[in-house]
Amino acid sequence: MKTTVLIFLLATSIATSHGLEHGIDYKIHPLRLKSGSGGHYVKGITCSSWRVGVEAHNIIEWKTIPQECEGYVGNYVLGDEYREDSKVVNREAYFYAKSIDVIKDGKNIWVFDIDETTLSNLPYYAHHGFGVEPYNATAFDEWVNLGIAPALPETQKLYNKLLSLGFKIVFLTGRPQSQKDITVKNLKDAGYYKWEKLIVKDVSKYKGKTAVTYKSNERKKLEEEEGYRIIGNIGDQWSDILGTNTGNRTFKLPDPLYYIA
Amino acid sequence: MKTTVLIFLLATSIATSHGLEHGIDYKIHPLRLKSGSGGHYVKGITCSSWRVGVEAHNIIEWKTIPQECEGYVGNYVLGDEYREDSKVVNREAYFYAKSIDVIKDGKNIWVFDIDETTLSNLPYYAHHGFGVEPYNATAFDEWVNLGIAPALPETQKLYNKLLSLGFKIVFLTGRPQSQKDITVKNLKDAGYYKWEKLIVKDVSKYKGKTAVTYKSNERKKLEEEEGYRIIGNIGDQWSDILGTNTGNRTFKLPDPLYYIA
């Protein structure tokens, strides 16, 4: 599996890192570019409408992407649109951050989720039907433990700008304690060189709890016990930005691959 | 102006009511269909990414649509995509409503916004640059007072299904008391024949207050003073569904034309 993953990684890192106009390696998935975003119907709805429905949180608690949308989602995430959509969100986040008068007491933080926010698992998902296959914990953990997930380039630009503006960065991820070391290595290798905190999930404490509960609780600790102010909060899941102590402003990055409640 | 408006109305009601594959009257606006949604750049971002950024509430408090996106937005709202996006949202709302065990005490309500949710102002916006022009209260009121805004067909389907399921309908609109009579007439003419309440804005009471404050306050009264349960809440603006007493579940219809805080 390792070699295959590396080939995927190469292809998708080219697509995501350099913003090529058509940076898709056709070898990795039998994709065809559609002539327009409205051209692919699934049970009477288009895949593009399904995607917008997901982004605006109208379609919730879905387990897998619609089977008929595998090609559409693959084209979207490996093509320009995913990159462009991510760019717009990160750009708005930067405009907002720039407008803030950062008090220099070191307590202004920006919360980043990790998967599909900071690091991309596209090399994995390209190999697993772009979300058509039900979540496979074993296979996904195997991928995470390789520690080779590439940075999402538009998020990385925001990260660097926020550091320049004087924000402290807190990573808040659903990854478990057992994956903390490999996550630290992966973040550093991908160019995220500095942070205030990296919060991983205490799996025994949050067993059976939703991501909204886990993340709200950890953000509450940050603000109420540790005296931080969450100025911004960015993630690819609505569960990253709903709940309590969400931060002064939240940003939802695109993610048509999976849904975490 | 009246005749022009009627021509627009005719053209857009054909486009919105019958779901034609290409129900665009090219005479009403100098539109060109783009070959894909990613083809139109505005200051380094695409109009489609701008639209998704608006829908997911990343881009907020905007006054007008980007000038460069007039053609894109025009094609979107008069074409199939707006209709399809609306259909998906209303469909999800119906799936959710169906799953609810409606207690037959007449207290389960569904809150509908009016403009761009229940009634469409497309005939007006087609004449006003699809949101490129700054909001003109005089011209818009003149349009509203004609009382000829067509129904949004996908919302109307939801409305009918909700009535069949036993829900009571409450319209909650930012339209002022002075436009209540014409709104009642317009709703009935457009096929909305029955409702529990139609709440219009007491302009003196909410002067200088945001729509979030106004709508939260009115929903709070519905639930806490009048004993209703808001099971669902649908609107085209985030200010329709943010705040307090938002309802058990909320639905955000597409609207790339304007933003109300």
Give the CATH number for residue B7: 3.40.50.1000
Of A43, A63, A196, A219, nearest to A129 by C-alpha is A63
Residue type, B255: D
The pLDDT score that the predictor gives to residue B101 is 86
What's the mean per-residue pLDDT of chain B?
A: 87
Convert the pLDDT of each residue in B111-124 to its tens digit: 999 999 999 999 99
In a domain, A242, yes or no: yes
**Distance between CA B251 and CA B89 in Å, rounded?**
7
**Distance between CA B229 and CA A167 in Å, rounded?**
42
Residues of A in contact with B56 (CB under 8 A): 55-57, 89, 252, 254
- Among B52, B75, B99, most A C-beta atoms within 10 A, so best to mutate, is B52
Q: Is it the case that residue A186 has pLDDT exceeding 80?
A: yes
In a domain, A258, yes or no: no
Q: What are phi and psi of B130, to 5 degrees?
A: 50, 40
In a domain, B257, yes or no: no
Q: Is it the case that residue B5 has pLDDT exceeding 50?
A: no
- The reply to whether ipTM tops 0.90 is no
Convert the pLDDT of each residue in A140-165 to its tens digit: 999 999 999 999 999 999 999 999 99
Q: Which residue in chain B has the smallest CA separation from A232?
A: B58
CB-based contact B111:B246 (threshold 8 Å): no
- Residue indicated by tokens 């909700």: B162
* Contact state of A52 with B85 under an 8 Å Cβ cutoff: yes
**Distance between CA A37 and CA B38 in Å, rounded?**
9
Total domains in chain A come to 1
Out of A15-24, B86-95, B159-168, which region has the weakest mean confidence (pLDDT)?
A15-24
Q: Is it the case that residue B65 has pLDDT exceeding 60?
A: yes
Convert the pLDDT of each residue in B29-64 to its tens digit: 444 333 333 334 447 789 999 999 999 999 999 999
Q: Is it the case that residue B161 has pLDDT exceeding 60?
A: yes
- In chain A the beta strands, taken as DSSP E runs, fall at 41-42, 45-46, 108-112, 168-176, 197-201, 229-235, 249-252
Of all residues in chain B, the percent with pLDDT exceeding 90 is 80
In a domain, B261, yes or no: no
Domain span at residue A198 reads 2-252
In a domain, A261, yes or no: no
Residues of B in contact with A243 (CB under 8 A): none
Convert the pLDDT of each residue in A90-140 to its tens digit: 999 999 999 998 877 889 999 999 999 999 999 999 999 999 999 999 999
CB-based contact A73:A47 (threshold 8 Å): yes
Q: Is it the case that residue A6 has pLDDT exceeding 60?
A: no
In a domain, A257, yes or no: no
